[in-house]
Amino acid sequence: MEKQNIYTCLLSKEQEKKLYDAWHETETKAPPYAKWQLRPENCVITCYASGKTVFQGRDASVYASAFINTDTPSVPAKKTVSTKKTGSFPQAGSDEVGTGDYFGPVCVCATIVSPEDLSLLQELGVRDSKQLNDADIRRIAPKIMKQIPYSLLILDPAKYNEVHKDNNMNAIKSKLHNQAYVNLTKKYQLPSLKVIDQFTPENLYYKYLKGEKEIMRGIHFETKAEDKYPAVGAGSVIARYAFLTKMDEMEKKWNMSFQKGAGTKVDACAKDFVKKYSFDQLSEIAKMHFKNTERL
């Protein structure tokens, strides 16, 4: 019988959301006293109302290793904390925006930050874009884009829905991150330190890239990297700026406002859109595999 590794973690609300967003496509019916249950490859992840999250399965250690508060590991978790200093420069970093939003595109940006860029980034307060309001993003992103090298990829909803037929969310994100680095290396020499804000275990990341013409190796994966590595923080801000810009264009084209996220307000907005236009046109502005479509 195959050994079932089990890890129990105490996650913050932010960590729970990030975990759920990464694997929500694999959601199944939750057992009693659980908020949700996910079944990614070779693992069952159950988040309980008590605050504990349990990882169980052959690759439980791989999924749990992204979180530092494991208290009952059955086998040693793979090391994910970097042995490199977060203050090593130059450094490259990438992050994505829009994967938890029903409306709008998925945007991925990879950047290179050198020592001479630090003063500007610190002055602008660059960090995880989720910690900045939209006004801050619109103000500081253009200044960053003028100074540092970056590669930005934007996957519009219509194209996203087409690609999603053969790729799950994490496969799409993996390919976008990889391509952002590939594009960046064609214009600039990449530093040895290349960081991705971890959204999937490293082995699965490279598994998703199987068949790609060019694959960027030597990537370091770390959770909450946007707060630790300026290059990832800058990538997060630029990606968010691109997302907001695309949302502006959508609102102008369709003459209505679109809610961010995937909650009840988004459901109401989707209903209004379908009434005003049609269900068939929803795929031009929304990620159709989200639960919002099912509820609609």
Dist. CA 148–CA 111, nearest whole Å: 7
pLDDT band for 178, please (50, 70, 90 cuts): very high
Given a cut of 70, whether residue 1 has pLDDT beyond it is: no
Do the domains spanning 5-64 and 91-249 agree at the CATH topology level? no
pLDDT digits (tens, 9 = 90+) for 141-153: 999 999 999 999 9
Looking at residue 145, its pLDDT comes to 95
Mean pLDDT of 229-240: 94
pLDDT computed for residue 69 by the predictor: 41
Would you state the pLDDT for residue 256?
94
Domain ranges of the chain: 5-64, 91-249
State residue 64's pLDDT score: 82
Q: Topology of 91-249 in CATH?
A: Nucleotidyltransferase; domain 5 (3.30.420)
Average pLDDT, the chain: 86
What count of Cα atoms within 13 Å lies in the side-chain half-sphere of residue 286? Answer: 28
Dihedral angle computed from the Cα positions of residues 76, 78, 83 and 86, in that order, rounded to the nearest 10 degrees = -120
The more confidently predicted of residues 81 and 222 is 222
Where are the strands (E) in the chain, listed by range?
5-10, 27-28, 34-38, 44-48, 52-57, 91-97, 106-113, 150-155, 194-197, 219-222
User: What pLDDT does 19 receive?
Assistant: 85
pLDDT value for 74: 35
**CATH code matching the domain that covers 5-64, chosen among 1.10.10.10, 3.40.50.720, 3.30.310.10, 3.50.50.60:** 3.30.310.10
Across 4-18, 44-58, 162-176, 240-254, least confident range = 4-18
**pLDDT tens digits along 3-60:** 568 888 888 888 888 888 878 878 888 888 889 999 887 789 999 988 889 988 877 8
* Rounded Cα distance, 177 and 174, in Å: 5
Beta bridge partners of 151: 110
- pLDDT more than 90, % of the chain: 54
Ranges 61-65, 269-273, 282-286: which has the least confidence: 61-65
Mean pLDDT score, 276-289? 94
271 sits in which H/E element: helix 264-276
Of the listed ranges 67-76, 236-245, 248-257, the one predicted with least confidence: 67-76
Consecutive H or E run containing 10:
strand 5-10
Q: List, for residues 78-134, the tens digit of each pLDDT value.
A: 333 333 455 688 999 999 999 989 999 999 999 999 999 888 888 887 865 567 888
> Sorting pLDDT into bands at 50, 70 and 90, what band is 205?
very high
- Residue 141 is predicted with a pLDDT of 94
